[in-house]
Structure 1
Amino acid sequence: MSVSESGDEESGKRRGSRRVKTKKKQRPFWQELPILIVIAAVIAALMVTFIGRPYVIPSESMETTLHGCAGCTGDRIYVEKLSYYWGDPEPGDVVVFVGPPSWNTAYQSIRSDNATKRGVQNFFSFFGLVPPDENDLVKRVIAVGGQTVECCDTEGRIKVDGKALDESYARYTLPYVAGQPFSPRGGREFKAVKVPEGHLWVMGDNRNNSADSRAHISDELQGTVPVDNVRGKAVFKIWPPSRIGPVRSEQPQAN
């Protein structure tokens, strides 16, 4: 073997040795797990903040569109926020919103009195694992800013700007009695209300069992809800499996 060949061989060995030494050693899974958890938590927080989150239906005010009655499995719905980044809610949309002050008289905080537990609940709420501590309600938009809503025509139907609505989703368990003023479990009639700009008139589909805009018509907002209070649009029922499917917007003013 020549001196040149011997030198090349030694040089090759040294380069190979350096490659072996500089090769990264893969971390064990238990070391990577905390990093993966943090990444997943950040993604979840971004989803909840900007995209949407699930909500539980606690009452029967939206029967039969959404279940929440006693003895039923409360529907879990997915509520997305993207639709209202570029526009406001429209008639027929099913929305989740924070009840205005006069709607919160019976609301009780779901947070613990213990400061430590409350902090943990607030932390997990940030990632969408615990419900927010606010009076979140779900109803259907009936009229928007600038429109006038009232009840009723001769058939007991809601009117918007003088035209009766075609509401296939509405459930009435009691017959219409002309002249009978509204009560959550009784009459239907209420005076005309012009919805202020930037506000909504909302009602539950279960009309004889829903404390909605009609029940707050005497407050400072005449029962309307600020658009800024809306958390998002209900688009899908995600639980229980027997009821998985879309939550449809139905424009009642189309006729």
Structure 2
Amino acid sequence: MDLEAIQDPGFLKSYSKKQLSQLAEEIRSFLISKLSVTGGHLGPNLGVVELTLMLHKLYDSPKDKLIFDVGHQAYVHKILTGRADRFDTLKQYQGLCGYPKMSESEHDVWEAGHSSTSLSAAMGMAAARDLKSENNHVLPIIGDGALTGGMALEALNHIGHEQTNVTVILNDNEMSIAPNVGALHNVLGRLRSTGGYRRAKEDLEYVIKKIPALGGPLSSTAERMKDSLKYLLSKGMFFEEMGFTYYGPIDGHDFDDFITT
């Protein structure tokens, strides 16, 4: 399709998996062609093509708030929100910004050049939404490198404590300016290797539901069984302990896996 003719991501609602795959290929070719001339952040954006397509297909921007962290993974988002025709001016004076820019589009709901701010922004937007009794999703998309920032960890703690309705998308692509180090990096490494947790938990819940109700003892035992399974398969569920329901890891390039999750 003509990417420069796109004005709004709403067209994705009716797209089939085949059409999405074709569009993903066209977007990658477009980015490689344009950025080979202007420069810019190629790798982070080639890595989020399917992810960004699915977020715009399944959610309703700008009512639903997509907050990119780091901001330089937002090129695909810019294409889908009507700015492909300006990519020849990317990162030039008075040209297309290399990061989300609120003055460019109503779909850019947060401005940040670099990392670790999305979760704090998401907490603020979600709190404001709840105070105003509004109904929308808030979705920060944060990389594994950005998640190690102190501001991100404070916000993760705050969201989990308040049990605020926020959907955090962890783009665990092992990409950052320098190698990630520290305890959180090791936690993420373990999570990558234990993808069977979600399926095993669902299977156990299914079996439990088939057992006739025997009162409180069975219910209590079942919860302990699920907790034991969680720790057995996940070697310590960092995010669940902080108050989140964790799903993953999933293949962010697999449309079927993304829709199911």
Same fold (TM over 0.5): no
Highest Rg: 1 or 2? 1
Class of the TM-score when normalised by the shorter of the 2 chains: under 0.3
Normalization by structure 2: what TM-score? 0.22
More helix as a share of residues: 2
Q: Which has the higher contact order (CA 8 A, sep 6+)?
A: 1
